[in-house]
């Protein structure tokens, strides 16, 4: 009942903001006023504001209250729902991916193209202490082989956190991996054979596309909504044609879409009833902007048919290569893959990661990181609204690290990439995220960089050449 009141009120306010009855910069009623007006508790009123803030519709100013955010006012239209071909086609954008990936780690470039939080947003000093501590605690045993299934403490900590996504796991149900992509690789190798078809969202993380192709799998890209993820109708239709389904259920890259609970539940049910395993990639799930973490498909899995993959690479320490999979009834197959490919994981980084998760520090860090990312996202959208050409559309991630930008069809994002590179800016052209001839007028911008005036200028430079004559604009710009 309380849930109902809270969502009714936040829905009404959201409507007033979206229809510009409440305009950008205007103050909202205070928490106290909201209580009196609607006869609700302080807690419920606070939750209303937090929810609107999570949607980036309002922002709080210390000691002043809540205001309609600029972002909301300038809300850019959503990108189109993708419509990939229904036939698996393989035109791998390998050269493009290689070119963009080659920029990784180049500190002379502004890397809008790298889908991770930069080091300065991570608790580096604290992590270093954790490594030193783990090394001492292990008394030299860090040099020895780790348990092949994975560090036991780490598995226990990861299992304990399953509660946050509506799950229920025990340590023996987890296998650690060398990062999240490695977990997906084991799943695909364990479940698929060359010629099998794997269904994915479109657009999709290039690492997954390349991995699937390298294993000889056929990739079926499915229509995907920029806010709610894969279209359930499309998935349903595709069922007879697919052997494996791979979904990045929460704040996937590049769209930032998040599947609603009912879609998650339905996807699990459909796939399970057709005997199709679901590989779920949840590496961004902890990076929610809202009041609560989204659930995983795995939370609705009663038959062990979902293989939940995740890692600490997007939230804590990519350099540790700590990931895991909760493979449900496929555990033995996954263990076999791990054994034949690498035997065991690195002892010390697993131990250090386990200790970090055990302390309150991980949650503190996540709170801070989420706030920073949401702030960055808003700044990006404001800058795009100001500097990018009319008609530019952007996704509306409510978590994660990536913003999907769709231009007018006349704009070629690869050309844009080349122009940006001349200004020492790296972006990720849309064509990287598909095997088909689509998204040529799209790009992904990551907001895992600290927001600065310089970053704003770089965004401006990225968007400018589409507005005016390209070459001349760049030559005249600082």
Is residue 336 near its own copies by the rule CB under 8 A?
yes
Hey, is 58 helix, strand or coil? strand
Beta bridge partners of 399: 288
**Which CB, 152 or 382, lies closer to its own copies?**
152
Q: Least distance in Å: CB of 401 to its own copies?
A: 14
Question: Distance of CA 20 to CAs 84, 392, 401, 458, Å?
Answer: 35, 20, 28, 30
**Residue 219 or 316 having the CB closest to its own copies:** 316
Minimum CB–partner distance for residue 150 and its own copies (Å): 12
The C-alpha angle 159, 273, 292, rounded to 5 degrees, equals: 40
- Residue 253, interface with its own copies (CB under 8 A)? no
Query: Judged by CB under 8 A, does residue 317 bind its own copies?
Result: yes
Among the listed residues 168, 174, 179, 178, the one whose alpha carbon sits nearest the alpha carbon of residue 152: 174
Quick one: which H or E segment has residue 36? helix 31-38
Instruction: Specify whether the backbone of 396 is left (phi greater than 0), alpha (psi in -120 to 50) or beta.
Output: beta
Asked if residue 320 binds its own copies (CB under 8 A), the reply is: yes
Q: If binding is defined by CB under 8 A, does position 80 make contact with its own copies?
A: no
How far is the CA of 155 from the CAs of 1, 27, 79, 141, in angstroms?
Answer: 37, 47, 39, 18
* Nearer CB in complex with its own copies: 91/136: 136
Nearer to its own copies, 42 or 94 (CB): 94
Examine residue 127 and tell whether it contacts its own copies (CB under 8 A). yes
Query: Binder to its own copies among 20, 77, 145, 468 (CB under 8 A)?
Result: 145
3-state secondary structure 265-325: HHHHHHHHHCCCCEEEECCCCCCECCCCCCCCHHHHCCCCCEEEEEECCCCCCHHHCCEEE
Q: Work out whether 93 is an interface residue with its own copies (CB under 8 A).
A: no
Positions in 273-302 near its own copies (CB under 8 A)? none
**Structure-block tokens of residue 291:** 């009041």
Upstream peptide bond of 91 is cis (omega within 30 degrees of 0): no
Q: Does residue 77 bind its own copies (CB under 8 A)?
A: no
179: contact with its own copies by CB under 8 A: yes
In the window 101-120, what residues touch its own copies (CB under 8 A)?
Answer: 101, 104-105, 116, 119
**Residue 321 beta carbon to its own copies: minimum distance, rounded to whole angstroms:** 5
Q: How far is the CB of 285 from its own copies (least distance, A)?
A: 19
**Residues 462 and 421: beta-carbon distance below 8 Å:** no
- Closest contact distance (angstroms) between CB of 198 and its own copies is 14
Residue 474 lies near its own copies (rule: CB under 8 A): no
Query: CB-based burial of residue 311 (10 Å sphere; 0-12 exposed, 13-18 middle, 19+ buried)?
Result: buried
Residue 140 interacts with its own copies (CB under 8 A): yes or no: yes
* Shortest separation between residue 239's beta carbon and its own copies, angstroms: 26
Measured from the CB atom, is 337 or 398 closer to its own copies? Answer: 337
Q: How far apart are CA 55 and CA 78, in angstroms?
A: 14
Residues 6+ apart with CB under 8 A from 149: 155, 172, 174, 175, 176, 335, 338
- Where in 149-178 is the site for its own copies (CB under 8 A)? 178
Please, are residues 264 and 300 in contact by the beta-carbon 8 Å criterion? yes
Site string for its own copies, 195-214 (x = CB under 8 A): ------------x--xx--x
Residue closer to its own copies by CB (options 140, 240) is: 140
Does 148 contact its own copies by CB under 8 A? yes
Position 354 contacts its own copies (CB under 8 A): no
If one asks whether residue 86 binds its own copies (CB under 8 A), the answer comes out as: no
- What Rg value do the Cα atoms of the chain yield, rounded? 23
Q: Note the residues at the interface with its own copies (CB under 8 A).
A: 101, 104-105, 116, 119, 122-125, 127-128, 131-132, 135-136, 138-148, 178-179, 181-182, 185, 189, 193-194, 207, 210-211, 214, 216, 313, 316-321, 336-337, 339-349
């Amino acid at each position: 009942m309380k849930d109902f009141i809270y969502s009714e009120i936040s829905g009404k306010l959201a409507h007033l903001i979206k229809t510009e009855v409440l305009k950008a910069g205007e103050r909202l009623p205070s928490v106290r006023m909201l209580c009196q007006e609607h006869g609700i508790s302080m807690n419920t009123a606070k939750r209303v504001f937090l929810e609107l803030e999570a949607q980036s519709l309002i922002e709080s100013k210390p000691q002043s209250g809540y205001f309609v955010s600029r972002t909301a006012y300038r809300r850019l239209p959503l990108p189109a729902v993708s419509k990939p071909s229904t036939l698996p086609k393989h035109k791998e954008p390998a050269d493009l991916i290689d070119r963009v990936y080659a920029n990784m780690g180049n500190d002379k470039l502004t890397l809008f193209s790298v889908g991770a939080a930069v080091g300065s947003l991570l608790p580096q000093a604290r992590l270093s202490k954790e490594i030193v501590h783990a090394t001492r605690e292990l008394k030299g045993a860090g040099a020895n082989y780790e348990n092949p299934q994975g560090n036991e403490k780490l598995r226990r900590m990861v299992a304990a956190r399953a509660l946050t996504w509506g799950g229920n796991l025990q340590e023996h149900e987890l296998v650690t991996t060398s990062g999240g992509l490695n977990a997906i690789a084991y799943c695909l190798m364990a479940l698929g054979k060359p010629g099998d078809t794997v269904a994915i969202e479109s657009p999709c993380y290039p690492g997954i596309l390349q991995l699937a192709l390298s294993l000889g799998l056929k990739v079926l890209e499915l229509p995907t909504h920029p806010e709610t993820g894969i279209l359930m109708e499309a998935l349903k239709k595709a069922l007879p044609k697919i052997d494996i389904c791979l979904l990045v259920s929460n704040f996937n890259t590049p769209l930032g879409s998040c599947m609603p609970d009912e879609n998650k539940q339905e996807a699990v049910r459909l796939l399970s009833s057709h005997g199709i395993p679901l590989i779920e990639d949840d590496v961004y799930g902890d990076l929610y902007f809202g009041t609560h973490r989204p659930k995983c498909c795995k939370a609705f899995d009663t038959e062990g048919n979902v293989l939940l993959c995740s890692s600490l690479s997007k939230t804590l320490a990519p350099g540790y290569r700590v990931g895991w999979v909760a493979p449900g009834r496929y555990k033995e197959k996954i263990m076999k893959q791990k054994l034949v490919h690498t035997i065991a994981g690195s002892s010390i980084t697993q131990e250090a990661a386990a200790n970090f998760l055990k302390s309150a520090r991980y949650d503190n860090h996540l709170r801070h990181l989420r706030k920073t990312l949401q702030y960055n996202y808003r700044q990006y959208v404001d800058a795009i609204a100001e500097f990018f050409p009319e008609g530019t559309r952007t996704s509306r991630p409510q978590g994660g690290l990536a913003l999907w930008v769709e231009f007018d069809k006349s704009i070629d994002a690869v050309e844009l990439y080349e122009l940006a590179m001349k200004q020492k800016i790296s972006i990720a052209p849309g064509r990287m995220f598909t095997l088909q001839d689509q998204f040529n007028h799209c790009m992904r911008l990551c907001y895992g960089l600290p927001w600065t005036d310089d970053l704003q200028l770089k965004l401006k430079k990225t968007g400018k050449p589409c507005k005016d004559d390209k070459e001349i604009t760049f030559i005249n710009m600082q």
